Amino acid sequence: MEKTILIGGAAGLGSAVTSHLIGKILCSLGYYVFDYRDYPSLIKGGNNFNVLRIADQPVYSHKQKYDIILALDQGTINLHKKDLKKGGLIFGNKETGPIVQKLQGPQILANDVLIGMFFKHFGVGLKIILAAVEKEFGSKSDLIKKAVEEGYQLVETKEKLKKGQLVKYFISGNEGISIGSIAAGMDLHLAYPMTPASPVLTFLAKRQLENNILVFQPENEIAVVNMALGASFTGAKVMVGTSGGGFALMTEAISLSGMADLPLVIYLAQRTGPSTGVPTHTAQGDLKFALNAGHGEFAKIVVAPGDAKEAIIRTQEAFYLSCKYRTPAIVLGDKHLGESNYTFDELEKSKLAAVSSPVNRASSYEHNALGHTVEDIASVIKGHERRIKKIALVEKEFLKFNPVSVYGPPAGEAGKGSNLIISYGSTKGAIIDALSSLKGFRFLQISYLKPFPKEAVRREIKKSRKVILIENSATGALADVIAEQTGIIIKNKILKYDGRPFISDDIIKNIKKVDED
């Protein structure tokens, strides 16, 4: 069983909330749901939409052909009708309008009529939906429940969803980063709002008292990161969050973190650049910026989770390594990872405990063991060597954190094995979903970009025939990184730079093209 549903409407009409609620109900019925969110940078108007892919097997990406369109306005139908499958259904204003009028409620009730229609179509019991609505909306749910019931009576059950075994977890990448930071024992989260990282700020802010953490929004990103280092000086564990432009403002202090030996975790959620770019859309264009951020030479960690579950563990690892080696760690995500919802049977945290401690002296200057300023030749050399030694130590330790993962059938004989797809970060979902349709392909996911797992990457490339890089960018920066680290040049690149994430159909089509060459 697999269905793809589009829910859309002008910004402010509620498509994000509705898709999340539908997704959550389906997860409670044991289904796997992937929820992709697409919205322009405006508050009211335009066309926001979510794509829900629902299946009885795990799915990690969305599709672009829809079985049902749930339309909150006519614009949604006009815009997306072309992608409706043959025989697909549209539920829209024609159905919801009269009911909203009858209930004399606000326009937003159309969402709830659609929810009722949708679940009736699939034969899901009304009680289950009403309970979920009540849980979501609490005391203000009476009118909403009426609208759901009205919608429920409007259509017949045409297909029957069977109830699955296990209730699933429905979680976004940003939520994964957030609870990963809690699991790591974070004390403070500081951030200045910037899409697509700000959901972490608001998620943690709302839950700060129950988790005994402090969440504060300072005057700008420069303040954010310098406050973080001030707190880190006292032994507090701090994560800051931002996207490209804000990260650019933070780079001076990343270098300070390296020089002053102060732990610092940065969540960098990439979006389409350069500059303001396409602020609510996705990209992987900041890889080299993250790797090279900060002047001077010092140890740095850059780790890139591939889905919401990995986001938890990788954030914990970032805290662990940053605190242990007292140097900055960047968790590199993007809009697609951060704002998409994934489904998992279980949510696990790692056993790693991040341990920091207060220090008496911290300095941006070259300094001796007492923290005093030094400029003489021997001390300058000693300072550099102390910092460079950390690079070697991190390079040794990170190997135990599975810096690469290989999916698909084993390669077989050296040089004659299967073909290899290489990627990092949020492209994982679409690649994994494509893999079963691609005979003779393995997927190498690189999760640590700094330190770089060069031996493992070289080994996998060496035992492959064709090697193809997939990246949500215009240049394929990971190929340059691989060339720098291993000396191997990757010629085949499948790149996407339209601000939208890969879907598995794109990947299958493009890989077949490369494979035929």
**Which parts of this chain interact with other proteins (CB under 8 A)?**
27-28, 167-171, 175, 179, 182-183, 185, 187-188, 208-214, 216, 218-220, 222-224, 226-238, 252-253, 256, 260, 347, 349, 356-358, 360-365, 367, 371-373
Question: Toward other proteins, which CB reaches closer, 237 or 326?
Answer: 237
Least Cβ distance, residue 157 to other proteins (angstroms): 26
How many other CB atoms are there within 10 angstroms of residue 346's CB atom? 8
What residue type is assigned to position 67 of the chain? D
Closest to 458 (Cα-Cα) out of 431, 438, 493, 484 = 484
Question: Toward other proteins, which CB reaches closer, 168 or 442?
Answer: 168
Least Cβ distance, residue 232 to other proteins (angstroms): 7
Q: Are 280 and 40 in contact (CB under 8 A)?
A: yes
Closest to 151 (Cα-Cα) out of 185, 177, 122, 176 = 122
Provide the Cα torsion 32, 35, 36, 38; round to 10°: 160
Least Cβ distance, residue 222 to other proteins (angstroms): 7
Closest to 148 (Cα-Cα) out of 86, 100, 196 = 100
Alpha carbons within 13 angstroms on the beta-carbon side of residue 227 total 19
The encoded tokens of residue 377 equal 């030749």
Question: Toward other proteins, which CB reaches closer, 32 or 441?
Answer: 32
CA–CA dist 301, 316 (Å, integer): 12
Q: Are 146 and 300 in contact (CB under 8 A)?
A: no
Question: Toward other proteins, which CB reaches closer, 105 or 371?
Answer: 371
Least Cβ distance, residue 319 to other proteins (angstroms): 12
Closest to 180 (Cα-Cα) out of 291, 331, 322, 23 = 331
Question: Toward other proteins, which CB reaches closer, 149 or 175?
Answer: 175
- DSSP code of residue 108: G
Least Cβ distance, residue 127 to other proteins (angstroms): 18
Question: Toward other proteins, which CB reaches closer, 87 or 358?
Answer: 358
Closest to 28 (Cα-Cα) out of 170, 199, 138, 126 = 170
Least Cβ distance, residue 174 to other proteins (angstroms): 12
The 3-state secondary structure of 183-223 reads HCCCCEEEECCCCCCHHHHHHHHHCCCCCCCEEECCCCHHH
CA–CA dist 427, 333 (Å, integer): 11
Question: Toward other proteins, which CB reaches closer, 218 or 277?
Answer: 218
Least Cβ distance, residue 363 to other proteins (angstroms): 4
Question: Toward other proteins, which CB reaches closer, 69 or 312?
Answer: 312
Provide the Cα torsion 285, 428, 325, 373; round to 10°: 0
Residue whose pair of structure tokens reads 């640590």 in the numeric block: 448
CA–CA dist 434, 423 (Å, integer): 13
Question: Toward other proteins, which CB reaches closer, 189 or 335?
Answer: 189
Q: Are 2 and 58 in contact (CB under 8 A)?
A: no
Question: Toward other proteins, which CB reaches closer, 305 or 403?
Answer: 305
Least Cβ distance, residue 472 to other proteins (angstroms): 26
Least Cβ distance, residue 226 to other proteins (angstroms): 4
Least Cβ distance, residue 23 to other proteins (angstroms): 11
Residue whose pair of structure tokens reads 């409670």 in the numeric block: 28
